[in-house]
Amino acid sequence: MILKKLIRRKRTVESAKPDLIIVGLGNPEPHYARTRHNAGWWLVDLLAEKHGIEVGRAHSTTRLGIGAIGERTVVLAKPRTHVNGSGAAVRYLLARFRTTQERLLVVYDETALPPGKLRLRPRGSAAGHNGIKSIIETLGNQDFARLRIGVGRPPPSGDMVGWVLGEMSAQDRELVDDAIVRATNSILYLLEEGVDRAMNKVN
């Protein structure tokens, strides 16, 4: 009886229109897994682990999982398009779930913030991030929520591409991991109260 109820609840969740689609930006190949550019994937992975959501359904543009955080239905997504092509994954997700960008949250690395700092915003420019640039070009506007995870700037003589595609020091990774835990704890608040109120808790 309990098993039947769980299966029925799972089917109900999976057939519902999601309250939020959380897209973590990153590059799909294994050798990128620990690089700064994959910080968005780290948050999606932790959300999936905490809430028992399997992120494994393959589409040409994305891997995704459908489940519940609290009483809210969410989609967790990890694009397979590389960071620079993230717009294609977002286009697919919005069409697949017949929803709009008002239910979209994009999570990604931010070099303008120190390691471990979080910034939640309801909209904004790409600010040099090619993944966000791709999504803005796809949607035709900047009006979608985003959660930026600080990964720090490269040294003055450093190369930005090499920096975001490089791995962090153990100290910086610890700061970022702590921030991601804080971020996952705030997702339910975002779902219940909206972006504007959640900003006071996250930022």
Residue numbers annotated as active site: 37
Q: Is the dihedral of CA 46, 169, 129, 113 positive or negative?
A: positive
Residue type, 176: V
DSSP label at residue 143: -
Residue-wise DSSP of 154-191: PPTT--HHHHHTSBPPHHHHHHHHHHHHHHHHHHHHHH
Tokens of 40: 């968005």
Distance CA 182, CA 150 (A): 13
* Residues near 76 by beta carbon (within 8 Å), at least 6 away in sequence: 22, 24, 44, 47, 48, 53, 55, 64, 65, 67
Helix-strand-coil percent breakdown of the chain, rounded to 5? 50, 20, 30
Q: Is the dihedral of CA 125, 72, 90, 85 positive or negative?
A: positive
